[in-house]
Chains A and B, each alone.
Chain A
Amino acid sequence: MTTKHTITVTVNGKQYQSEVEPRMLLVHYLRDMLDLTGTHIGCNTSQCGACVVQLNGEAVKSCTVLAVQADGCEVTTIEGLAPEEGSLHPLQEAFWEQHGLQCGFCTPGMIMASYQLLKHNPNPSEAEIRKGLEGNICRCTGYQNIVRAVQDASQRLHTSEKAPVTAND
């Protein structure tokens, strides 16, 4: 058996210390060891973006990051996006309001990628949103309502004082 490594990772504000095989993927660490199953696996080759999480404030595809690479890092998953327990982040509200999801499988990754997009460009044009989400595949919605949701979230973040998009950074 491979030697295990001890890693310390802060996920959604909570610190975990775990023993992992060096080859364990971050997405499997989050899902199988920490039981944070909101992050999904859609393609295994980094095309689909269902596994996007924030790693030290930048979006990564967690199927292409090893858990040991996250040692000492802060990770935010879909479960930790809302500012407080029981509330929704404006992006989550917008995806709900605009019918930006159907089967919901790509949704956590899509929301996390949109979070990254809005962080770097708070007022994206429609074309910029479509370009910015090229790394995320949705098979259900035809993207139209996802684009609307990101536009809506952008508006909400401008008018909302309670949850600016940089709050978790």
Chain B
Amino acid sequence: MGIAAMVGTPIKRREDPRLITGQATYVDDLKLTGMLYMAVLRSPYGHARILDINVDTALQHPGVRAVFTAQDLKNSVGNIPIAAPLPPHITNGMGRRGALAEGKVRFYGDPVAIVVAENRYIARDALDLIEIDYEPLPAAIDIEKAMQPDAPLLYEEFGTNVAVVMHPETDEIDKVFADTLANGGVVVKDRFMNQRLAPSPMETRGVVADYRRGDKILNLWSSSQIPHLLRNYLAEQLGLAQHQVRVVVPEVGGGFGCKLNIYAEEALAAFSSMKLGQPVKWIEDRDENLAATIHGRDQVNYVEAAATKDGKVTGLKVHVISDLGAHCQFFTDVIAIAFTLPMLSGCYDIPHIYSSCDTVFTNKAPTDAYRGAGRPEACYIIERAMDLVARELKRDPAEIRRLNFLQPEQFPHKVATGALYDSGNYAGALDKAMEIIDYQKLRQEQKRKRANGELMGIGVSSYVEICGIGPKGTAPFGLYESARMRIEQSGTVIVYTGSSPHGQGEETTFAQLVSAEFGIPIEQIQVLHGDTSSTPEGRGTYGSRTTAVGGTAVFQATQRLKEKMKTIAASMLEASATDITFEDGKFAVAGSPQKSVTFEEVAATANTSNELAPGIEPGLETTVFFEPEACTFPFGTHICVVEIDKETGEPHITRYIAVDDCGRQLNPLLVAGQVHGGIVQGVGQALYEEVIYADDGQLLTNTFMDYAMPIASEFPVFELDHTVTPTDVNPLGVKGVGEAGTIGATPAVSAAIADALEVAHLNMPHKAEKIWQIIQQKRQAK
């Protein structure tokens, strides 16, 4: 394969050999000399007062080295870090908490005490020997009941469970709705539930902490998406300087946003190691993962849309109630406000959008970023609203979408929510998806099947999302990404990136990028990540930002080193640097291609230095921090076809078409992989997955027996295609694709189910039982 073709080529991943042979090192694969094991005692109640804790028996158990409770952490471990506290209450401490519960437990799984022991079996045994006297309290579980004045309070001193109330004046939107109706238009409304999900990466969380007393250095291995942010915040939480903490992120078995967080257990393992002078390992069990790792989604949305009788949407009014869970984790308080509200315009040119929001604490695990983080909710709201408009006007859903799309020539475009879209061709993606599935023919087939009493539904979803965050001021810390690049004497290029992959394959895509820029074989490039002692300050992998932000930093590093290499090549060739060209790994004098030096020769000269002209600094190394000035907005159209078994209510997806546009693709094989996985997570939400709590706060879904993870037999072969609409936001023209499938899929599936049942809307997950009941109701109504 030609090197120039490296970018845009579906080459297989260089990560895989270690992963397919069992040689990869995940956190639980680490074994340090003298390592102890930590286990966490968690609340069996959703809400209870802690009256007394007795750890004496546990401490006496053979092999137990320590038992710690909140009392032991005083003055040693600070509160769980949060990125962006919002006024009025959270800035005043509402939802803030220490690493172990103090006084009260506020959700099932809330950590109360830890045991450190010689092995994991003993640590687990000793949990049963800790005696806690609880006084159970009524729990606030249903979010809308939790907002009522008589609801049980999580934080009594604030007199409410509501953290943020954002209710702007409605005069303008009310007028838009009134005018639309006065002109013969329609208003549709509904209440959508976006249910609570468990991110469930196959590798649960895990930490190894090793405090070296002699050096006063904490080495911490964690299954994380954010090595540097973890280092920075954990140092502060433990009262250490940043340089005293080295975070290493080894192989990570999936994240999906839930490892974009700084958790109690990281500080607890570190504290234990500092106290005991030995390494401490904690590996989360799956039941802990489902109970105490962050959950995603959990919004209630009141949605109203106004449209002219011709189908042009004139206004959208949305009230979002966001369930924060029991306390704030890293981004808990801002998911709805920062990611749902700005994306409510979807792909459409809607002149007036009103949004209001309440964020509410409940006795459930904290919610935070889960694949899509606020954008799936926005997409679901606007896409379901478009379907309601289409149904009300008896128009085809695809037609209504096309009528309201922003047009390619309108970009860059600021939508009514204030989001600045970079580029798009929404009709292009819709057309392609409809062509692949032969939409008109499909509708005819549906008509025939309906006439035979069969239940077949077609769902269309055109999504746009926001990626590659973000410009200055988006978060309290800058959302840049770093790349350090070093070229060795041999010409081997070593890339140290601040991005922190957990399955995305950037060791491959970044190497492709460097290979193409330098004209050298991919084998000559090494991509390293996830060690704060060697990678420069970084921000990590989330929000589909790796290629758009981290990849751009890598690209810019290649450009800087190329310039320096030109200077060196010029002196080697006794020419002016401005006359040096670089192509296919060779530096040559313009017009005299025979006068050239290779990439490797320049690397050798730079590193050995004796042959360097005076004034040229030896070595080839640079560090780039790329901070994007704007975000990217990937988009696409997904079409889902379902058939429902009338007798059992079981839905079957018979076809699924995804046309995605993530800008330029560095490796189409990996792009497709991201889309496949995203779709399954989106379908998982639409059809199967749901975290359920009983009214008293008991978690009913704390194993994979009860939390329905999607499995292979539930899916057809997805039919993928793409369009390419580049962006000017970064020099690579890339947008991001990690979350697209999840965002596009859910409304497509929901629409297909509603279409099959010929109802306006039903809430997710669309389990067979619920569907069966609707079928029965309809039969009885006839």
Query: Which A residues form the contact surface with B (CB < 8 A)?
Result: 1, 21, 23-24, 28, 31, 35-45, 47-48, 50, 77-79, 82, 88, 92, 95-97, 99, 101-108, 111, 126-127, 129-131, 133-134, 136-147
Contacts and interface: CB of A to CB of B under 8 A. Distances in A.
B712 A143 contact: yes
By Cβ-Cβ distance, the 7 closest A-B pairs, closest first, are A38-B22, A105-B253, A104-B19, A103-B503, A142-B676, A102-B503, A47-B704
29 contacts: A23-B121, A36-B22, A43-B286, A43-B704, A47-B709, A48-B709, A79-B21, A88-B21, A96-B13, A99-B12, A99-B13, A99-B670, A99-B672, A101-B19, A101-B20, A102-B503, A102-B504, A103-B201, A104-B18, A105-B254, A130-B712, A130-B713, A134-B712, A137-B704, A137-B709, A139-B677, A142-B715, A144-B718, A145-B673
Given A31-B28, A79-B21, A140-B673, 15 more contacts: A1-B62, A38-B22, A40-B203, A45-B286, A45-B704, A48-B709, A50-B202, A82-B21, A99-B13, A99-B670, A101-B16, A101-B19, A102-B505, A136-B711, A137-B704
Contacts of A143: 676, 680, 711-712, 715
Interface string B761-775: 000000000000000
Interface in B1-50: 12-13, 15-26, 28-29, 31
A105 B201 contact: yes
Contacts of A40: 26, 28, 202-203, 253
A144 B717 contact: yes
Given A37-B29, A103-B502, A104-B24, A141 B286 contact: no
Contacts of B18: 104
A20 to B, nearest CB: 11
B759 interface: no
B681 A139 contact: yes
A44 to B, nearest CB: 5
Given A36-B22, A38-B21, A134-B713, A99 B673 contact: yes
A21 B63 CA distance: 15
A48 B711 CA distance: 10
* Chain B interface extent, by class: 35 or more
Nearest to B674: A102
Chain B interface, DSSP helix/strand/loop, else mixed: loop
B503 A140 contact: yes
B252 interface: yes
A95 B20 CA distance: 8
Interface string B632-643: 000000000000
Given A104-B15, A133-B712, A139-B709, A92 B21 contact: yes
B200 interface: yes
Nearest to A2: B121
A137 B703 contact: no
A169 B644 CA distance: 43
A96 B17 contact: yes
Contacts of B26: 37, 40, 105
Interface string B699-726: 0000111000101110101100000000
Chain A interface, DSSP helix/strand/loop, else mixed: loop
Interface in B307-336: none
A96 B681 contact: no
Nearest to B720: A144
Nearest to A131: B713
Contacts of B254: 102-103, 105, 139-140
A41 to B, nearest CB: 7
A139 B711 CA distance: 9
Interface in B701-755: 703-705, 709, 711-713, 715, 717-718, 741
Contacts of B358: none
Given A137-B704, A143-B715, A107 B673 contact: no
Contacts of A140: 202, 254, 503, 673, 677
Nearest to A36: B22
A88 B20 contact: yes
Contacts of A39: 22
Nearest to B254: A103
Contacts of B709: 47-48, 137, 139
A72 B673 CA distance: 42
B203 A103 contact: yes
A45 B703 contact: yes
Contacts of A145: 672-673, 676
Given A39-B22, A82-B21, A141 B703 contact: no
A104 B503 contact: yes
